[in-house]
């Protein structure tokens, strides 16, 4: 079993706040690191797939960075909106997908 850890487990922020989450994963035999957003009553959807050390990806107000040598990735949300409320999952891909337990974000209007 590969250990993928996410922190914090949950986060409550006000609309307009910026926030970030951490995903740590095994630094050896790196293949790919994924971020997914999982909204209530919907399926998880991919935000980013990152494969290279130093990768930075951006989608609107959300961005992610990757450090494969030390085994961590950060997800940033700038100016959080209520529609950003969801569980954010990271997954380490090594043949299979190994998921962390997620960070549950609640953005209050």
Partner 1 sequence: DVKVTQSSRYLVKRTGEKVFLECVQDMDHENMFWYRQDPGLGLRLIYFSYDVKMKEKGDIPEGYSVSREKKERFSLILESASTNQTSMYLCASSRGQGVRNTEAFFGQGTRLTVV
Residue ranges binding partner 1 (CB under 8 A)? 1, 6, 9, 31-32, 34, 36, 42-46, 49, 51, 89, 91, 95-102
Q: What pairing do the DSSP bridges indicate for beta strands 62-67 and 56-59?
A: antiparallel
Q: Detail the DSSP E strand segments found in the chain.
A: 5-7, 10-14, 19-24, 32-38, 45-50, 56-59, 62-67, 72-77, 86-94, 96-99, 103-108
User: Which of residues 15 and 39 has its CB atom nearest to partner 1 in the complex?
Assistant: 39
**Shortest CB 70 distance to partner 1, Å:** 21
Nearest to partner 1 of 14, 95 (CB atom): 95
Closest CA to 68 of 24, 36, 5: 24
Closer residue to partner 1 (CB): 14 or 40 = 40
Residue 45 CB, shortest distance to partner 1, in Å, is: 8
Q: What is the CA radius of gyration of the chain?
A: 13
Cβ 80 to partner 1 shortest distance, Å: 22
């Amino acid at each position: 079993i590969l250990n993928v850890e996410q922190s914090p487990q949950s986060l409550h922020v006000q609309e307009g706040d910026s926030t970030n989450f951490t995903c740590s994963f095994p630094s050896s035999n790196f293949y790919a690191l994924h971020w997914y957003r999982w909204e209530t009553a919907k399926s998880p959807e991919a935000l980013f797939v990152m494969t290279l050390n130093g990768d930075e990806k951006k989608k609107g107000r959300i961005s992610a960075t990757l450090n494969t040598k030390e085994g961590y990735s950060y997800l940033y949300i700038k100016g959080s909106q209520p529609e950003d409320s969801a569980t954010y999952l990271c997954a380490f891909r090594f043949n299979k997908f190994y998921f962390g337990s997620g960070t549950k974000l609640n953005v209050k209007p």
